């Protein structure tokens, strides 16, 4: 028996000796990568860098039970040789505690620690290839955004004052000039990190330092020295960022009294900042700001109401800018189609405005109009607004970029676009009337409206146009019964209806067709047999203007073989004299398709090269 027990003991000892306390285990590459990159932002738990400091100092178990004590133990070691590791760990662990407890003081502490790690007042900052730098930037950015939250919603209060920290006090001075934007005041901010973006193909984020917010505009103060930016809609949400500069960051964080200056930057005003000897890009969320603007916008309801009712208000003269005017940037004017709105350009704007090759050279303008009104009338408003905008923004005529305007129109918007570069002479008038305008019995204001709506000259500032799915020879749908039903539902604005009544009542003998009993709607205008459609299709593009066509076609095979996009036939959308024609395989609403956007991108880059 003793021999048996001895044998068991020997066997047990040998087995224990074979179980090595240190070794490796083979895992798949994805598991290994996740283990290396897990952090408080991606996985809700500390990264290996922060965990290493706790384990090295024997604080890991204490952190899990009494995290405040463990954090204080880390703070007690500040001022030694391991400050880089400690400041980083304190930033991430403070953020972790902020998440666990919903404590804004911990989030602000995370921002302070991260700033001290990134921008030490003495010694070398972490290198560009230090993998902790992107995480530290995000901890700073998210720490600020969560630290200034006012409640459970997405709003934040960016203000100066005294804020409690777990280890002391944060004294913030707010730079008031940062709240001024192009003559407006930024008055409400939303945490864009808290939103997922739907509907846009890509969410563009310009990474850098600063908490990315969406800023709203307060009504302008017309007594202020700086007049409000022209043509910027009040409902827009701007991509802005908040930056807290901390004085003597490592010393002040170690001492427990942190002083900093908070400033808000708008995307259009500052792409980067200088901190110490470093030029650092600012972080912005332009796609999220655009999506938030459209989510809160009334444009969606305008689409049907603006088609059926000419009285439905579009505001001003319909021409808006997404950014304040900046000299040297060429306007790209986007004109939507029937029963649509500028919101339908969101996909294209998101892609092109975030292209660094285009961003600093172009400004995007949007034209909003009642799409049931006669096309000539809508085009006259567009022409007037374009001329007025250039005169308002550049009264001295010193900005050559405003003389290189690009107009892009989809569907009916393409017909309005064509009229911006058409010298009509008397053609449109003669298609409807058999007497000159000056021989008609009209009031002066009626005569002026008819003159602006029937006689077109090229807008001098427009140098390039792009037609997208445009029915130059009309749409086959406009001749069907459904079009007649729509016509009866459309109502004109009071002023236009009064003009039509005056013309039809007092000047019947001046009409080329005695069958005409009412003004034509835009749908009637797009009937291939309508005098407007026939006349416009025969009108050439003005000399000196470069034109392009993007034509949507469903199905395979040659596009000219009787193909269409379901609304406009290829034969109607194709026109002679354009510099380029691209056929895109899609339905009629092709302005958001990748192939269409890429062609517009190519055209805009070409426009820059040929100026």
CATH architecture of 297-609: 3-Layer(aba) Sandwich (3.40)
DSSP-derived secondary structure letter, 517 = -
3-state secondary structure at position 361: coil
State how far the Cα of 233 lies from the Cα of 417, in Å rounded to an integer: 22
The pTM of the full predicted model, rounded to 2 decimals, is 0.90
Query: What pLDDT does 487 receive?
Result: 47
State how far the Cα of 284 lies from the Cα of 31, in Å rounded to an integer: 32
Domain ranges of the chain: 40-288, 297-609
CA atoms within a 13 Å half-sphere pointing along the CA-CB vector of 71: 24
Query: What pLDDT does 513 receive?
Result: 59
Q: Splitting the chain (611 residues) into consecutive groups of 10 residues, what average pLDDT does each group show?
A: 61 57 86 88 94 95 95 91 89 96 94 96 87 96 93 84 96 93 89 93 96 90 70 89 96 95 90 91 96 87 67 69 92 95 95 95 94 91 95 94 98 98 93 86 85 93 98 77 49 60 72 63 87 93 97 88 90 95 96 98 96 77
Query: What pLDDT does 413 receive?
Result: 97
Question: What is the SS3 string spanning 264-331?
Answer: EEECCCCCEEEECCEEEEECECHHHHHHHHHHCCCHHHHHHHHHHECCCCCCCCCEEECCCCCCCCEE
CA distances, 253 to each of 51, 69, 101 (Å): 21, 17, 22
Query: What pLDDT does 486 receive?
Result: 47
Query: What pLDDT does 373 receive?
Result: 87
State how far the Cα of 114 lies from the Cα of 291, in Å rounded to an integer: 30
Query: What pLDDT does 422 receive?
Result: 97
3-state secondary structure at position 221: coil
Query: What pLDDT does 298 receive?
Result: 82
């Amino acid at each position: 028996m003793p021999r048996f027990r001895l044998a068991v003991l020997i066997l047990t000892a040998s087995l224990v000796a074979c179980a090595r306390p240190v070794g490796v285990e083979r895992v798949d590459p994805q598991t290994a990568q996740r283990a290396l990159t897990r952090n408080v932002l991606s996985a809700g738990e500390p990264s290996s860098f922060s965990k290493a400091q706790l384990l090295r100092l024997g604080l890991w178990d204490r952190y899990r039970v009494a995290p405040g004590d463990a954090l204080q133990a880390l703070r007690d070691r500040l001022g030694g040789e391991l400050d880089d590791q400690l400041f980083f760990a304190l930033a991430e662990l403070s953020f972790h505690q902020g998440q666990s407890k919903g404590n804004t003081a911990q989030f602000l502490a995370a921002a302070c620690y991260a700033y001290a790690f990134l921008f030490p007042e003495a010694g070398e900052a972490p290198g560009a290839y230090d993998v902790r730098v992107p995480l530290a930037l995000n901890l700073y950015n998210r720490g600020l955004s969560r630290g200034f939250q006012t409640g459970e919603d997405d709003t934040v209060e960016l203000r100066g004052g005294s804020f409690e920290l777990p280890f002391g006090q944060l004294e913030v001075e707010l730079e008031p000039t940062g709240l001024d934007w192009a003559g407006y005041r930024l008055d409400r901010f939303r945490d864009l990190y808290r939103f997922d973006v739907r509907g846009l193909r890509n969410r563009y984020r310009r990474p850098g330092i600063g908490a990315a917010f969406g800023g709203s505009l307060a009504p302008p103060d017309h007594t202020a020295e700086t007049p409000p930016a022209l043509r910027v809609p009040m409902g827009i949400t701007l991509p802005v960022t908040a930056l807290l500069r901390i004085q003597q960051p490592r010393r002040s964080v170690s001492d427990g009294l942190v002083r900093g200056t908070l400033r808000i930057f708008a995307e259009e005003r500052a792409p980067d900042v200088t901190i110490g000897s470093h030029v650092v890009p600012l972080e912005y969320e332009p796609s999220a700001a655009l999506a938030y603007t459209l989510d809160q916008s009334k444009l969606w309801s305008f689409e049907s109401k603006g088609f059926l009712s000419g009285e439905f208000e579009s505001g001003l003269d319909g021409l808006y800018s997404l950014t304040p005017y900046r000299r040297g940037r060429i306007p790209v004017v986007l004109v939507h189609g029937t029963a649509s709105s500028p919101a339908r350009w969101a996909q294209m704007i998101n892609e092109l405005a975030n292209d660094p090759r285009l961003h600093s050279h172009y400004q995007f303008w949007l034209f909003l109009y009642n799409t049931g009104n006669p096309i000539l009338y809508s085009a006259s408003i567009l022409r007037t607004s374009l001329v007025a905008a250039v005169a308002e923004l550049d009264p001295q005529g010193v900005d050559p970029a405003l003389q290189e305007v690009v107009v892009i129109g989809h569907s009916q918007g393409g017909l309005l676009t064509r009229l911006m570069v058409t010298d009509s002479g008397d053609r449109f008038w003669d298609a409807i009337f058999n007497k000159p305008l000056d021989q008609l019995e009209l009031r002066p204001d009626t005569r002026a409206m008819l003159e602006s709506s029937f006689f077109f000259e090229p807008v001098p500032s427009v140098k390039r146009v792009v037609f997208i799915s445009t029915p130059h020879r009309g749409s086959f749908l406009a001749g069907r019964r459904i079009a007649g039903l729509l016509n009866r539902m459309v109502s004109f604005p009071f002023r236009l209806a009064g003009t039509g009544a005056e013309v039809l009542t007092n000047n019947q003998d001046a009409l080329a067709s005695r069958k005409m009993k009412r003004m034509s709607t835009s749908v009637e205008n797009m009937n291939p047999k309508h005098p407007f459609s026939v006349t416009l299709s025969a009108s050439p593009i003005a000399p000196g203007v470069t034109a392009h066509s993007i034509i949507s076609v469903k199905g395979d095979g040659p596009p000219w073989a009787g193909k269409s996009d379901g609304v406009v036939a290829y034969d109607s959308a194709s026109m002679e004299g354009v510099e380029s024609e691209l056929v895109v395989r899609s339905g009629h609403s092709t302005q958001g398709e990748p192939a269409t956007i890429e062609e517009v991108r190519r055209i805009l880059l070409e426009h820059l090269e040929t100026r």
